[in-house]
Amino acid sequence: MKTDPLLLMRPNIRALTPYSTARDEFSGEGITAWLDANESPFDNGVNRYPDPHQKALKQVISELFGVSTDRIFIGGAGSDEAIDLLMRVFCVPGKDNIVTIAPTYGVYEVSAAINDIEVRKVPLGEDYSLPVDALAEAADDHTKLIWVCSPNNPTGNAFPIEELCRLAEKTKGMLVIDEAYVDFSTKGSMLPLLERYPNIIILRTLSKARGMASLRLGMAFAHPSVARAMAMAKYPYNVNGPTQVEVIRRLQATPDISQSVSILLHERRRLEEKLPQVAGVKKVYPSDANFLLVKFDDPDGVYDKLMHGGALVRNRNRVAGCEGCLRITVGTPEQNDLLLTLLEQ
Ligand code: PMP
């Protein structure tokens, strides 16, 4: 099914005349007195507004991820910013809806609620498999976005690329694939298929494998019409200057993250082997991410015990579909040793 993303967007976004910043209106050379943006003239390193279009940063991201700059949106509040922006670009409050898998990352539902958008949750199948047909059936003419997180948080599993393609072909809406944890997966990314499917949007973040959670940088890779609409609807200077400079510096200094990823994958395997031997562990779910979902006899008791021993994990015991489970991030070898020691006590 071929979708024109423009036709799915909110009519007011399609018709929007975006705010034009001072720095949009002039891009030439030879200016020594910048008197156009009411900034402070005293140079302290941060007195000027940053590039609202993040051109230099987009160029670096374009080369690193192999995506043309016209298909890139950058969020300065992480990929959480892209999640909220997509709701506002595509869904008419009180009228449109989104479809999500369940359980999944909680921000999709909260962002939809903030924007007064109905959420249709489709439970994952046996062993947390992707319910492609049920997702397509849950959608109607008012479904603008279908959200699939792969590898999925909190279950940890990635879905096969063929299944995601089948869903992209079956659905009339936009399929958003959140690949926050894809660097830890061997199942591959949908990124090479971006040009084949105009209705897919891929979310990535620098917060996980790339180790820059504090800088708050996330990306959406999409059809140029979607990237353009997101750029029109965003806050004017949504990525601050020091972040743009620092991210460029770090991406150029360490474009290859395979070394740190392989340490974490090795540690994940170690935890996968050791945890099933711990008394009280009922199940360790297979993971394609940098965390493990683990089912315990007494999850709340184990959570407290770990916390008092100095190891904090995420309690997912009260999340539908994850009853009895704790979500454990893979740490350094020393941190994982502490976790195992506390669990074995
Ligand atoms: N997507 C998923 C699946 C996540 O788990 C997270 C963070 N936990 C995010 C997106 C948000 O990442 P950020 O805003 O740091 O880019």
Q: CATH 3.90.1150.10 in the chain, residues?
A: 258-344
Cβ–Cβ under 8 Å, residues 12 and 92 = no
Q: Which pLDDT belongs to residue 31?
A: 92
Residue 221's alpha-carbon distances to 53, 73, 298, 316, in angstroms, are 15, 6, 41, 30
8 Å CB contact between 276 and 342 = no
Report pLDDT digits (tens) over 297-310: 999 999 999 999 99
Give me the pLDDT at residue 122, please. 98
Does a cis peptide bond (omega within 30 degrees of 0) precede residue 103?
yes
Helix ranges (H only) for the chain are: 5-8, 11-14, 55-65, 79-90, 107-114, 132-138, 161-170, 224-233, 241-253, 258-274, 299-308, 333-344
Q: Give the pLDDT confidence score for residue 25 in this predicted structure.
A: 80
Which residues is 123 bridged to in the sheet? Answer: 102
- Supply the pLDDT for residue 96: 98
Q: What's the rounded Cα separation, in Å, for the pair 73 and 229?
A: 9
Q: Are 147 and 104 in contact (CB under 8 A)?
A: yes
* 293 alpha carbon – ligand 1 mean position (Å): 17
**Among protein residues, the one whose CA lies closest to atom 6 of ligand 1:** 180
User: Structure tokens of 252?
Assistant: 């150029």
Q: How confident is the model at residue 231 (pLDDT cuts 50, 70, 90)?
A: very high
Tokens of 234: 């965003």
Q: How confident is the model at residue 29 (pLDDT cuts 50, 70, 90)?
A: confident
Q: Which amino acid is at 192?
A: P
Task: Read off the pLDDT of each residue in 97-105 and give the average, rounded to a whole number.
Answer: 98
> Looking at the domain that runs over 258-344, which CATH code has it been given?
3.90.1150.10
Exposed (0-12), middle (13-18) or buried (19+): which is 86, by Cβ within 10 Å?
A: buried
In tens, the pLDDT along 285-333 reads 999 999 999 999 999 999 999 999 999 999 999 999 999 999 999 999 9
What is the DSSP-derived secondary structure letter of residue 265? H
Q: Are 242 and 204 spatial neighbours (Cβ–Cβ below 8 Å)?
A: no
What is the location of CATH 3.40.640.10 in the chain?
A: 5-16+50-253
Task: For residue range 152-201, list pLDDT tens digits in order.
Answer: 999 999 999 999 999 999 998 999 999 999 999 999 999 999 999 999 99
pLDDT, tens only, 236-275: 999 999 999 999 999 999 999 999 999 999 999 999 999 9
* Cα-to-centroid distance, 205 and ligand 1 (Å): 7
Q: Of 16, 17, 141, which is closest to residue 89 (Cα–Cα)?
A: 16
Q: What does the DSSP 8-state code read for residue 321?
A: T
Predicted TM-score of the model (pTM): 0.96
Distance 80 CA to ligand 1 centre (A): 6
In this prediction, residue 79 has a pLDDT band, given cuts at 50, 70 and 90, of very high
Task: Report the separation in Å between the CA atom of 314 and the middle of ligand 1, taken as the mean of its atom positions.
Answer: 15
pLDDT at 196: 96
The whole-angstrom separation of Cα 296 and Cα 324 is 6
Instruction: Compute the average pLDDT of residues 75-98.
Output: 97
Q: For position 1, what pLDDT does the model report?
A: 62
Alpha carbon distance 234, 188 (integer Å): 30
**Cα separation, 330 vs 134, whole angstroms:** 32
- For residue range 135-164, list pLDDT tens digits in order: 999 999 999 999 999 999 999 999 999 999
| 216 CA closest ligand 1 atom index | 15
pLDDT attached to residue 24? 83
Please provide the DSSP assignment of 27-53 as one string. Answer: --S--S---SS----S-SSS-SPPPTT
Which CATH number applies to 5-16+50-253: 3.90.420.10, 3.40.50.1010, 3.10.20.600, 3.40.640.10?
3.40.640.10
Are 215 and 54 in contact by the 8 Å Cβ rule? The answer is no
Separation of CA 191 and ligand 1 centre (Å): 18
Alpha-carbon span 337 to 343, nearest angstrom: 10
Is there a contact between 170 and 159 (Cβ–Cβ < 8 Å)? no
Considering the chain, what percentage of its residues have pLDDT values greater than 70? 99
User: Cβ < 6 Å from ligand 1: which residues?
Assistant: 78-80, 105, 149, 153, 178, 180, 205, 207, 213, 218
Burial class (CB in 10 A: 0-12, 13-18, 19+), 77: middle
Token duo for residue 208: 């996980």
